[in-house]
Amino acid sequence: MSKQTQLAPVNTQAVVGNFTQTELDTLKATIARGTTNEQFALFVQTCVNSGLNPFLNHIHCIVYNGKEGPTMSIQIAVEGILYLARRTEGYKGIDCQLVHENDEFKFNAKTKEITHEIGFPRGKVIGGYAIAKREGFDDVVVIMETNEVEHMLKGRNAHMWKEWFNDMFKKHLMKRAAKLQYGIEIAEDEPVSGNTLDATASYEPRQRIDITPDVGRIEVNEGEVVDMAAELKKKQDEIKQQMQRYNMTTNDLNQLTAKHFNNKKPNELTLQQLVALSKFIDMEHQNRQSSAQKQETFDPENLQFSFDEFEQESFNIE
């Protein structure tokens, strides 16, 4: 008589968004391995708020070891962008092509028509374009030359750009077109200058930002560095406006900060902590607005670990 195999019970109850505790433990040990507790909390909340699934390669958590400790970069994959785009009403697809030096390529800025004829041998890639289509809207056309992405060859993902340049270039074009046509705004986006043509309006691409836990620098996209102090001040001002918009008091802010950041005060938080605090404020506001639905407040204590200590930065909230 064979013995029946008994499996350990699995907790299928969601504790944060749609994530169960088992899934959170798996994330922490695999996809988000190496993150600090607070970085992990921020990554999970970004997944929940955006609806992206890290287990389906929609969103990635990249950790770099720096002098001041681990640096986390939340990167949205093209699969994630397309997932959100397909859920947009009127989605009609995105066409993306690379232009080689022996191709015949013309773009009529007035009629917004593209003529692209392929010749063989095609030669090296000199540019590319993506056309995002949506019912009831003008097509969005993003056109770039290869020299506009040369900085990618020296950034964090340089090895990927060098090894699979054509694929990475096409994904870059598709992400830009999709974000503009379907209004996709996720994670902590910051404006980045660029020379991009589109069929509806001037375009300033918004790319991901690397979140560094301590004083140092912030890397926007791959390789471009912005001033940490300026970003810190900007986030402080955003939180002030956020509190006013939600009619929340200084006492509310102090309570949220103490709850989520080991009894710290608002003027002791670093940039990364301010980013997380902003999300906690949004959730607190949502909970107050929909308490009847018993929407669960995202509390890092549910993740069964405590925050690490971080170097302090100061700002004043009136």
Binned average pLDDT, 10 residues per bin, the chain of 318 residues: 48 74 90 88 89 90 76 86 91 94 92 90 94 92 93 82 92 91 63 30 33 36 47 82 89 86 78 76 79 52 42 42
Please tell me whether residue 122 adopts helix, strand or coil conformation: coil
Residue 209: its pLDDT value, please? 35
Give whole-number Cα distances, 90 to 55, 83, 133, 179, 209, in Å: 27, 14, 8, 14, 29
By 3-state DSSP, what share of the chain in percent is helix, strand and coil, each rounded to 5?
A: 40, 20, 40
Extract the tokens encoding 146: 């290869």
Are 208 and 155 a contacting pair, CB within 8 Å? no
Strands 210-211 and 69-76: antiparallel
Residue 126: its pLDDT value, please? 94
Please tell me whether residue 84 adopts helix, strand or coil conformation: helix
- Distance from C-alpha of 227 to C-alpha of 211, rounded to nearest angstrom: 13
Are 267 and 316 a contacting pair, CB within 8 Å? yes
